[in-house]
Amino acid sequence: MKKQLNTFQPHQQSTLFTLPTYISGFTEEGVSPLNHIEPYEFRLFLSRQKGVEILSFHDFETDYDCSYMLSLVEMNDDKFLIFCNKYFPYVAVSKVLEEGVSLKDETAELPRNRFVKDIGLSEIDDLPFSFLEVELLELKVDADNADSMFVLKQISDTEFAEFSYWQPLIIADIIFNRWTKKRQAL
């Protein structure tokens, strides 16, 4: 049975929850570096999934501007992108909509894809990852929408300032982004 993702503050009966501060990778000046999810944990999580073949794995460890890790996997003759936020253990699954995708190069453009519900992956008891629901990922970022504001209520002022520049369309754009970030001292 899957664990409920409502780790922070659940919103009524939906799968929405309040995003944690700094999930986008932006912090206030002088704030210590963020939490960091280890790439080997994400790779281990993927390798323990039954029926999943890892075709490529990118931790973007040297890409400070990338807020996620990414793996292209094959399952039941379909290809999927598995995203993992670098700072919090949240995973999203997206079905690849193009043929012949390999993603061997970290700089390659992402293929056309769409977020999907459960494809048979499972949470692993000794690893902290939780799956994000499509409802949350595809929620439009909109100051006039109560659900959107609920999800974003713990986001920092610095993050909101960046959003006004980068103009994310949906919540997934905030969680999994490649926006230029000011380097923080380690």
Q: What percent of the chain has pLDDT over 70?
A: 88
Contacts of 154 (CB under 8 A, 6+ apart): 8, 18, 19, 20, 21
Q: Residue 3 — pLDDT band, cuts 50, 70, 90?
A: very low
* Mean per-residue pLDDT over the chain, rounded: 86
pLDDT given for residue 136 in this prediction:
95
Query: Higher-confidence residue: 7 or 170?
Result: 170
Q: What is the mean pLDDT of residues 142-146?
A: 94
pLDDT given for residue 127 in this prediction:
77
Q: Which of 14, 27, 172 is nearest to 93 (CA)?
A: 172
Six-digit token string for 135: 């409802």
Query: What pLDDT, in 10s, does the model give residues 79-89?
Result: 999 999 999 99
Kindly tell me if the per-residue pLDDT of 137 is higher than 90: yes
| Spatial separation of the C-alpha atoms in residues 57 and 61, rounded to whole Å | 11
Q: Which residues of 35-61 are buried (b: 16+ CB within 10 A; e: fewer)?
A: eebebebbbebbeebeebeeebbbbbe
Query: What pLDDT, in 10s, does the model give residues 12-58?
Result: 445 688 999 999 999 888 886 678 899 999 999 999 999 999 999 99
| Spatial separation of the C-alpha atoms in residues 181 and 119, rounded to whole Å | 33
Q: What is the mean pLDDT of residues 52-73?
A: 92
Query: What pLDDT, in 10s, does the model give residues 165-175?
Result: 999 999 999 99
Q: How, if at all, do strands 130-131 and 90-96 pair?
A: parallel
- Cα 63 to Cα 59, 68, 180, distances in angstroms: 9, 10, 10
Six-digit token string for 21: 């501060």
Q: What percent of the chain has pLDDT over 90?
A: 63
pLDDT given for residue 2 in this prediction:
37
Q: Residue 182 — pLDDT band, cuts 50, 70, 90?
A: low
Cβ of 125: how many Cβ atoms within 10 Å? 7
